[in-house]
């Protein structure tokens, strides 16, 4: 029989020198499509059932979540936690709830069993339909660049999708295993967003976390595909670190994060230059912003709401970029470029940018990938970048473009 443990401020992070063998991978192995799974560099969570669901009404999301947590505590739930997903559109309903059962473990990366090989994806007859077609996506990038040269805005993130239809039912637990084991130091998730629909993915980007009075944000912007050739892979990483176009794109995002967090922090540290992080498929420019809260009642979720959407997933100015996205993308983003994560009644939590993901329903997967478009962007390069980002999920289902 499983036991229930709740996320709390007193829960210590895993000690990499003394990993708990099998604790995290046992939760990964126990995932079923009716559960909520979230793995971060700080912890692994597996939730079942709902004590309370966060309602959708005229109150702010932070107010609704706080009220839901208070109601769960009043009903006898010990140390309630909210977990789930928030959409790109602030006005759309979130998929957040307080689970009836929450099992926790140290991070996947601290579990030696995560290094065991994962099974090869079962062969499936995938039918792939790009929306929009790559040529139409490139035309949208070109149009945005032309408008930027006219001074209408300075950046927009344009996305495209791949709709994959399988001849067999989707095996979500197997997909989650491959995503988690490929990038165990990232943020892997599988969360229900509607009856019969699951948001599943592996994001490299922390929007914001709070532990006590300490705040961390890790904006990513500026990317290049990895190479299987070691020398070429190193060359690409070095080129990214010196790319004027990518450094400008990254600086825009870091400045926006700085401006959003500064009113809430008594101290904020922003490194002068980015570093690199890597996933299995991409190199990213990365800056880790750290700070100390000015007011102890400022929650991780309220900070996430102040930050979301950053220029890394939307653009700048935000309102104009949103309008360009609505005019250019022939689909609703839903939870793509939204936020996934957890939060507790003390205001602690981790909230992650929802990228490298897909929405799964019955036999269909909709994959999403976006690229930051600035005045120096080229349609062919941005189309290639989105194709590279699709590889994270295509590898999990055993197919390619």
Cα–Cα distance measured from residue 246 to residue 285, given in angstroms and rounded to the nearest whole number: 8
Are the beta carbons of 57 and 282 closer than 8 angstroms?
A: no
Return the structure tokens found at 208: 């914001």
Are the beta carbons of 372 and 222 closer than 8 angstroms?
A: yes
Cα–Cα distance measured from residue 225 to residue 370, given in angstroms and rounded to the nearest whole number: 13
- Residue 72 φ/ψ, nearest 5 degrees: -65, -40
Give, as one character, the DSSP assignment of residue 333: -
Q: How many residues does the chain have?
A: 401
Evaluate the CA torsion angle 62, 65, 71, 74 in order and state its sign: negative
Residues whose CB is less than 8 angstroms from the CB of residue 200 and which lie 6 or more positions away in sequence, other chains included: 172, 175, 176, 179, 189, 190, 191, 357, 358, 359, 360
| Catalytic residue positions, numbered | 155, 205
Cα–Cα distance measured from residue 388 to residue 381, given in angstroms and rounded to the nearest whole number: 11
Cα–Cα distance measured from residue 112 to residue 105, given in angstroms and rounded to the nearest whole number: 13
Cα–Cα distance measured from residue 243 to residue 72, given in angstroms and rounded to the nearest whole number: 50
- Taking each helix axis from N to C terminus, what angle separates 300-307 and 61-74, rounded to the nearest 10 degrees? 160
Beta bridge partners of 158: 371
Residues whose CB is less than 8 angstroms from the CB of residue 279 and which lie 6 or more positions away in sequence, other chains included: 183, 186, 202, 204, 226, 356, 392
User: Within 13 Å, how many C-alpha atoms sit on residue 181's CB side?
Assistant: 21
């Amino acid at each position: 029989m499983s036991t229930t443990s709740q996320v709390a401020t007193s829960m210590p992070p895993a000690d990499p020198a003394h990993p708990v063998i099998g604790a995290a991978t046992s939760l990964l192995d126990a995932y079923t499509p009716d559960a909520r799974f979230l793995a971060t560099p700080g912890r692994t969570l597996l939730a079942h059932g709902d004590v309370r669901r966060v309602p959708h009404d005229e109150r702010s999301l932070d107010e609704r979540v706080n009220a839901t947590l208070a109601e769960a505590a009043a009903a006898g739930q010990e140390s309630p936690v909210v977990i789930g997903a928030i959409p790109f559109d602030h006005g759309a309903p979130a998929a957040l709830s307080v689970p009836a059962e929450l099992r926790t473990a140290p991070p996947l990366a601290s579990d030696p069993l995560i290094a065991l090989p994962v099974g090869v994806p079962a062969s499936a007859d995938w039918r792939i339909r790009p929306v929009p077609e790559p040529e139409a996506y490139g035309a949208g990038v070109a149009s945005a660049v032309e408008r930027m040269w006219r001074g209408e805005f300075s950046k927009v993130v344009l996305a495209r999708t791949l709709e994959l239809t399988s001849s067999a039912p989707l095996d979500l637990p197997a997909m989650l295993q491959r995503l988690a084991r490929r990038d165990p130091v990232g943020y892997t998730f599988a969360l229900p967003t509607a009856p019969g629909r699951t948001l599943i993915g592996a994001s490299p980007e922390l929007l914001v976390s709070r532990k006590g009075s300490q705040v961390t944000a890790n904006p990513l912007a500026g990317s290049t595909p990895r190479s299987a050739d070691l020398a070429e892979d190193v060359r690409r990483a070095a080129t990214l670190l010196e790319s004027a176009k990518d450094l400008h794109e990254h600086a825009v995002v870091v400045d926006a994060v700085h401006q959003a967090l500064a009113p809430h922090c008594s101290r904020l540290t922003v490194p002068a230059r980015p570093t690199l992080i890597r996933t299995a498929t991409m190199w990213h420019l990365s800056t880790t912003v750290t700070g100390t809260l000015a007011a102890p009642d400022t929650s991780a979720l309220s900070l996430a709401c102040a930050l979301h959407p950053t220029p890394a997933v939307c653009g700048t100015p935000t309102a104009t970029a949103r309008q360009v996205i609505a005019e250019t993308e022939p689909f609703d983003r839903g939870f793509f470029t939204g936020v996934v994560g957890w939060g507790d009644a003390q205001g602690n939590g981790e909230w992650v940018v929802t990228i490298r993901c897909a929405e799964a329903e019955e036999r269909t997967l909709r994959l999403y990938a976006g690229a930051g478009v600035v005045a120096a962007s080229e349609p062919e390069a941005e189309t290639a970048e989105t194709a590279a980002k699709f590889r994270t999920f295509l590898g999990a289902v055993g197919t390619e473009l």
